[in-house]
Structure 1
Amino acid sequence: MADCPQDRLVPPGSEPRCPVDVTLATLGGRWTPLVLRELLRRGQAAYSELPGALPALSDKVLSDRLAQLTAAGVVERHRTPGWPPRVHYVLTARGRALEPVMHSMWEWGTAVRDDAP
């Protein structure tokens, strides 16, 4: 892999430029990859469907992770009018492009788990 010399002295708070850093910033935070995994499985999901798939995840963290993925352009938020209002999340092309990354993470994690003593 190529070196990212321009990132050696990146000031705190600035946007990452190294491709690995960009990916980690998008997927950063506990639960973010698992929220993305659920959206990849389903293609789209209502907000109310996600806690069933990730029961240990609090509503606040779920909201934060969905907002993070939306801000990164990975997910689009759609609100259906009516009462109660319904919100569902759909992967963007950028989000669907993360599928091979998530698949590689799955494969690596499976191999490490299965090799554990």
Structure 2
Amino acid sequence: MPTDPSFPAAPAIQGCTPTLPGFTCGLDATLRVIAGKWKPLILYFVAQGGPTRYGELRRSIRNVSDKMLIQQLKELEADGLVKRTDYKEVPPRVDYSLTPRGQTLALALVPLCTWGTENMEEVTRIFAERAAWRAGAD
């Protein structure tokens, strides 16, 4: 497949070579950890202000169901990215914070957030065209 000579090639990414059975490369491992519609957003919002209560996350991440948010938080905790602190109080008080490894992953997501912000208008236009095409295809 020819490449456009006016567009610079992506730089080689260190660590993106097969290392362990079951993973294609480091990117594959990363994508498996953040797989799911909500995990990157959870990491983003927990990274914003330190310990974050469940209700704050629920309000920040629109359209996520309670069941899905709880499931994704449990998976992030099991993966060692999020720490859940239960204060054993009545009424219940639980908050979530990033582990040191979770903090490094949250920092790695910053360029994706920047890209999304810079391209939001174009992405919105493309998604609107796609929705219109699908509606016409029905």
* TM-score, with structure 1 as normaliser: 0.81
| 2:93 matched residue in structure 1 | 86
* TM-score, with structure 2 as normaliser: 0.70
Q: Deviations over 1:13-72 (max 9, x none)?
A: x5x362101111111101111111100112220112211111311100100110111111
- Bigger strand fraction: 1
Q: Which runs of 5+ in 1 are unaligned?
A: none
| 1:101 matched residue in structure 2 | 108
Alignment of 1:70-85 (within 5 A): 70-85=77-92
Change (3 A) 1:23 1:5: closer
Aligned length: 111
Root-mean-square deviation over aligned CA pairs: 2.1
Change (3 A) 1:17 1:76: farther
| Alignment partner of 1:4 is 2:11 | no
Alignment of 1:1-117 (within 5 A): 1=13, 4-5=17-18, 14=22, 16=23, 18-115=25-122
Q: Which runs of 5+ in 2 are unaligned?
A: 1-12, 126-138
Report the 3-state secondary structure (helix = DSSP H, G, I; strand = E; otherwise coil) of the residue aligned with 1:97: helix
Bigger relative contact order (CA 8 A; separation at least 6): 1
Distance 1:25 1:75 in 2: 16
Distance 1:27 1:53 in 2: 18
- The higher radius of gyration belongs to 2
User: Percent identity between the aligned chains?
Assistant: 33
Q: Deviations over 1:88-110 (max 9, x none)?
A: 11110001112332211111112
